[in-house]
Homo-oligomer: A and B are copies of this chain.
């Protein structure tokens, strides 16, 4: 049999295959805390439990896995997050009551303001701070996936400016430092933090200031390639 013939007679349902889904851990930074987007499940299994936004590949609509995760996130937030990265793929025969199941997991970041109106308008979607997460009984193994996403982001905080994508487009250096501190779980020397960002030339001064109490702070924007920069020396853990 040649390849042409093989393809003509190929039956995609010829043998059993694991269930395949895509899930996203979407983080934002708001009110001094890191928060994750959760969705109330409307279908079995684990119906009515809270879980990660995600779902199945739509073979017609999606051309690749990233299409799937973007489609799902846009459904829930109304927008496409500025940062999306594949986290890991988890597959085994215990995580889903239906049997062998594989989920391709992504981590994403967004400013809360970007999707505030969309999320406030529905009751089945909410931001949950990582501190109150342990008190929730999440669907499937989603609690451990959130944990893995957080660990990954913590690593990024040590050697990149990626956490900035969890802030609004314009932010202060203090804002950014706070996100990093929450991720690392320890304070950072202000001077060290500013020095490395300044040296790497990752931000643009918008000229604007934000004044709350005390001296007004300069508002910065990320330069376009800032997310790709990695410092050769890490912050201490």
Q: Is the CB of B7 within 8 A of A57?
A: no
Q: Is the CB of A10 within 8 A of B65?
A: no
Determine the distance from Cα of A7 to Cα of B43 in the docked complex, in whole angstroms.
Answer: 12
Does residue A174 face the partner (Cβ distance < 8 Å to B)?
A: no
Q: Is the CB of B65 within 8 A of A102?
A: yes
One of B3, B10, B17, B233 near A17 (C-beta < 8 A): B17
Does residue A127 face the partner (Cβ distance < 8 Å to B)?
A: no
By a CB distance below 8 angstroms, the chain B residues around A3 are 44-47, 97
Q: Is the CB of B86 within 8 A of A104?
A: no
Q: A36-67 vs B: 1/0 string, CB under 8 Å?
A: 00000000111100000000110100111100
Q: Which range holds the interface residue count of chain A?
A: 35 or more
One of B12, B59, B98 near A10 (C-beta < 8 A): B98
Does residue A89 face the partner (Cβ distance < 8 Å to B)?
A: yes
**CB<8 Å pairs between A and B, sample of 26:** A1-B44, A3-B45, A6-B44, A7-B44, A7-B45, A10-B98, A12-B99, A13-B16, A15-B56, A16-B59, A17-B17, A17-B19, A18-B20, A18-B57, A20-B20, A59-B99, A63-B92, A64-B91, A64-B93, A91-B104, A232-B233, A232-B234, A232-B236, A232-B237, A233-B233, A234-B234
Which residue of chain B is the closest to A2 with respect to CB atoms? B44
Determine the distance from Cα of A18 to Cα of B61 in the docked complex, in whole angstroms.
Answer: 13
Q: Is the CB of A12 within 8 A of B6?
A: no
Does residue A88 face the partner (Cβ distance < 8 Å to B)?
A: yes
Does residue A140 face the partner (Cβ distance < 8 Å to B)?
A: no
Determine the distance from Cα of A100 to Cα of B234 in the docked complex, in whole angstroms.
Answer: 40
Q: A13-B16, A17-B19, A89-B104 are in contact. List 15 more A-B contacts (CB 8 A).
A: A3-B45, A7-B44, A7-B45, A7-B98, A10-B98, A13-B13, A18-B20, A18-B57, A20-B102, A57-B102, A63-B93, A102-B104, A104-B104, A233-B233, A234-B234
